[in-house]
Chain A
Amino acid sequence: MAMAEEQMTRRRWLDMFVKMAAGVAAVALSVPTLVMLIVPAFRREKAPWIRVGHISEFRPNEPKAVTLSYQRRDGWVIRTARTTVYVVVMGDGKVKVLSNICTHASCVVRWERSKQAFFCPCHDGYFAIDGSVKSGPPPRPLDEFQHKIEGGEIFVRLRT
């Protein structure tokens, strides 16, 4: 009887040991795997600052189109992408970086010097130099991009 009991405790110990070992192995294996699968899905990468040009290249009240070309990382695929923005230096020296895409139906706007306005040819939309709607169907001002100026160089962040 004592024999049998002793065997019982031994078996219980072994049972526990095996289960613990299995648990340890399962955790050890699944934690790195799951982390590798899950964590990147929640990683937020800040959009990079892209150089637009030196402030001296732009004159007050004369919006200038700049085509930016930059690398976009899509997982392990790297693509070169291009976006055109308007750099506007206002009369008071304030800088704005505006999208050149009309807020109405996404046509491309251009600066019309004679009319002192951004003009959208698709439905006759007009935007003022600061991007606000002057006339026509556009529902809201031209999108503005976040920018910063460091040592005279203007940088822009395309995604907001």
Chain B
Amino acid sequence: MLRRFLDWLERETGLVSAWNRFWSQPLPATVGWGHIFGALLLLCLVILFVTGGAMMFYYSPTPDQAYPSVQYIEHYLPFGKFIRALHYWAARIIVLLLIVHLVRVFLWGAYKKPRQMIWVSGVLLLLCVIGFGLTGYALPWDQKAYWGTAVRLKIAEGIPLIGHAVANFLRGGEQLGAVTLMRFYVLHVFLLPILVFLLVAWHIRQVHVLGVTPAWVKVGHEGEIPKTQRLHPDHTARIAVGAILLLALLFWLSAKFPAPLEPRANPLDTAYKPHPDFYVLWLHELLKLFPPHLEFVGSFILPSLLVILLLIVPFIERNPERHPLRRLPAVTTGLVILFAIIALNIKGMEALPEPEKLSPLAKRGQELFVELRCYTCHGINGGGGPVGPDLGLGGKRDPKKVEAILRNPGAFNAHTVMPSYDLPPEEMKALVAYIVSIGPNSKMPPIPPVEPEKPPSHFEENWFANHKFEVRKDPASCGDCHKPFFCQACHQNRRPSSHDEQWLKFHFGNAAEQPAMCNACHTPDYCEECHKLMRHDTKWLKGHGNQLVKFGELKKWSDLTMHQLCYHCHTKQSCDECHKGALPESHKAPDFLQRHGELAGAWAQGAKTNQLAQNTAVRKTSHQVCVTCHTKQFCDNCHIGTKPKSHEQPDFVLGRGTRDGGQVKSGHAREALKKGLQSCQTCHKQEFCSNCHGTEMPHPQNFVSIHVREARKDMALCQRCHTWNEPECRQCHSKRPPSHTPDFRQTHPQRISDGGISCQVCHGRNACMDCHKLPMPHPRDFVKTHGELAKQKGIKGKDSVQQLQRQLCSTCHADRYCRLCHLPATSQR
């Protein structure tokens, strides 16, 4: 059957005999292991076509989908990771093989007449492979792809005159984006493959027609070497050995080292630094040899010259000799150029940052970094979310501080959105070790795709800032993937702006309309917290007064009077409907109006008769009991014109002068001491005192221990009520304080840290003046004005300066102090 088909094929096309003729081609005796590299190159190309073609079934060349589709290849397809790695490694190995092949044919002089065009087609193939590499680089559309391509296009821009046009042509516009990716894709999988296919065909056809160059014979004497082998199986056996080894190497590399895939390209992430691939390092090094305005020499002119030189090698090197030693000028030039490139490349490799070496502990920390998804907020030299600072920046970190931040970020910034991480000690140690090890060359560890996959919206630019809009569109959709505590990680410190002071009043409508919106952040039983006390069931009316009180206790919402809570939903009228006709028992007493002040005070002190007043939230100011039903205006109706008698004393407000021998004080203070603070609080809130006093009044219990600190804040506040040298102060301050060591007189200038305020407590305002006879410390412009001192102090005469020195300056300064600035007359010119 097969036989018959082949016979028919042979009759019609002659392909079978052509095939046989090709493989049985006789080869010169000198063909050996050096000649397998062309075939290995072919094998690499086949691998690249096969793996590349397979990936084309899945790859999608748009910025939105390129990266997810590569991820899809990597993570969802059996062998996807392997195939991609094979493509990646074959693309690298082919470059090395090309160099070997090129050097081989160069040394053998295989480009000499009549094989010039084999060499030329070879050089064109080399250019194509480089083109493959450059375009393939951009395809995964990860950070490296995007930024690496950006750098290359920028280099292209640097070519004078045509640079911008070339870059724009490659980019398909001014912007690196969708159009660029498509162009690169079409180049990579359509134009270049066609070109390579044609060139390879031409290349091999010529080799086949012209025969392989026999070794070391002069041009024209090829016939001297007998053709003792055939392509198959003599040479194919060598190729097979090489091919097996090459395949084994590629498979091993691909299985062991998957192709890298960095985070998705983020055009806004300028922190990212791309590193060039190893085989173009020498080009980058070349660039660095030139000053910026001549960069195009390194980036364009020299490489172009090199390509032209390569192309014309067979036409300028016309020495008929093939043996390398008999054409030394050509061989040395070639080798010098090769070694120069290799040397530059090695230099470039040294300049590359050391790959991170992580201790096992830090390695574990890195895993935790990924596991805990720190990267959602933090980049490491790029990548990661835009919320937190990039951890690659900011220099060396202190492990203690890092741990503290992790445990409680709120302690460093009250409004931070970073959640606290309370990890077990070993994990904490590992994570901290990793964070501390992060430097300017560290890289984001690979981030596995999360399940469920992020929807496209999450990749929009500024997604983070805009998630609020998306949330509003369909709150339920967040809840499909995120647990409420995910939102709370940030939002416990950052309420949505809708949740303003008025929010509580209106939330009911919103909640009824879109309960899912609340559930995005709050658990469903969150509502219950309040509403279980507030459930208006059939029994509600009877107990609602007490219920309100309980609620106040629970919420500690002392700034709300209780009925304000009701007003969230009800108007005052709705209370009045019942309460107008139904006064509380107390109000029914005939003398209630006269005694209500007293009663309010009693309630406030927690008289057992009144349940309301026992409540701590209520005890705060007694009139809060009243405002359960009445507004403050209600009191003011009468009270505004009628201050209590006591308030009419002339010294009621001020009256500091009346103190003597520790005895009190202004009228209001006396009154407060006599009747107790409660009596003030019938009408005034506690803050009322601090309005004038500027500090909590009356002084809290522990005030003695903190008064120094308080005083330093603003001494003038103390002086509103206290003068220095009051007997009370004296009780403690008469003793020499421990700071006043024997050498205090000499050292006090350095010790005074608060501008002398604390000195004034004992020494009075003029303490400095008493000794120094000058305002101390010297005022700021003293250096400028001290020349006038003598005049100011009324010291006249020829030796006024010496007098001044003696009287004033010498208290602190030695004579030579002046000479620090004023040079002696003799040395002046």
Contact = CB atoms under 8 A, between A and B. Distances in A.
A22 interface: yes
Contact of B233 (A11, A33, A69, A78): A11
Interface in B518-542: 524
Interface string A9-45: 0010011011001101100111011011101100000
B240 interface: yes
Interface string B712-747: 000000000000000000000000000000000000
Nearest to B457: A80
Contacts of A77: 65, 68, 456
A36 B247 contact: no
Interface residues of A, number: 34
B233 A17 contact: yes
B82 A76 contact: no
Nearest to B230: A11
B57 to A, nearest CB: 6
A40 B47 CA distance: 22
A94 interface: no
Contacts of A67: 476
Interface string B740-782: 0000000000000000000000000000000000000000000
B45 to A, nearest CB: 12
Given A18-B233, A18-B236, A28-B251, A33 B453 contact: no
A8 to B, nearest CB: 11
A37 B454 contact: no
B71 interface: yes
B139 to A, nearest CB: 14
Contacts of B29: none
B456 A33 contact: no
B54 A36 contact: yes
A46 interface: no
A73 interface: yes
A91 interface: no
Contact of A18 (B47, B51, B68, B240): B240
A37 B233 contact: no
A69 B71 CA distance: 24
B480 interface: yes
Contact of A30 (B50, B452, B480): B50
B234 to A, nearest CB: 7
A79 B79 CA distance: 26
B453 A71 contact: yes
A29 B87 CA distance: 11
Contact of A76 (B54, B60, B83, B233): B60
B504 to A, nearest CB: 24
A32 B82 contact: yes
Contacts, number: 100
Interface string B233-251: 1101101110110010001
Interface string B788-814: 000000000000000000000000000
Nearest to A73: B453
A93 interface: no
Interface in B156-201: none
A80 B473 CA distance: 12
Contacts of B241: 21
A151 interface: no
Contact of B240 (A17, A39, A51, A82): A17
B244 to A, nearest CB: 6
A51 B476 CA distance: 11
Nearest to A51: B480
B271 interface: no
Given A15-B232, A69-B476, A76-B68, A36 B240 contact: no
B534 to A, nearest CB: 20
Nearest to A33: B54
Nearest to B474: A69
Contacts of B453: 71, 73, 78
A37 B54 contact: yes
Given A18-B233, A33-B51, A78 B454 contact: yes
Nearest to B60: A76
A117 B687 CA distance: 64
A132 B244 CA distance: 68
B76 interface: yes
B564 interface: no
A21 B244 contact: yes
Nearest to B57: A37
B80 A36 contact: yes
A82 B186 CA distance: 36
Given A18-B233, A25-B247, A29-B50, A78 B456 contact: yes
A21 B80 CA distance: 25
Given A33-B54, A69-B477, A28 B247 contact: yes
Nearest to B478: A69
Interface in B455-497: 455-457, 474, 476-477, 480-481
B50 A33 contact: yes
A44 to B, nearest CB: 14
Contacts of A18: 232-233, 236-237, 239-240
Given A17-B233, A18-B237, A32 B79 contact: yes
B452 A36 contact: no
A14 B237 contact: yes
Interface string B62-89: 0001001101100011111011001000
Contact of A29 (B47, B57, B60, B71): B47
Nearest to A68: B476
The 5 tightest CB contacts between A and B, nearest first, are A14-B233, A21-B240, A76-B72, A32-B79, A76-B68
29 contacts: A14-B236, A14-B237, A15-B232, A18-B237, A25-B43, A25-B247, A28-B251, A29-B47, A29-B247, A32-B82, A33-B83, A35-B78, A35-B79, A36-B77, A36-B78, A40-B77, A67-B476, A69-B474, A71-B480, A73-B453, A75-B72, A76-B68, A76-B72, A77-B456, A78-B453, A78-B456, A79-B455, A80-B455, A80-B474
Interface of B: 43, 46-47, 50-51, 54, 57-58, 60, 65, 68-69, 71-72, 76-80, 82-83, 86, 232-234, 236-237, 239-241, 243-244, 247, 251, 452-457, 474, 476-477, 480-481, 524
Given A29-B247, A73-B453, 19 more contacts: A11-B234, A17-B233, A17-B240, A24-B244, A25-B243, A33-B50, A33-B51, A33-B83, A35-B79, A36-B79, A40-B76, A69-B474, A71-B481, A76-B58, A77-B65, A77-B456, A78-B68, A80-B455, A80-B457
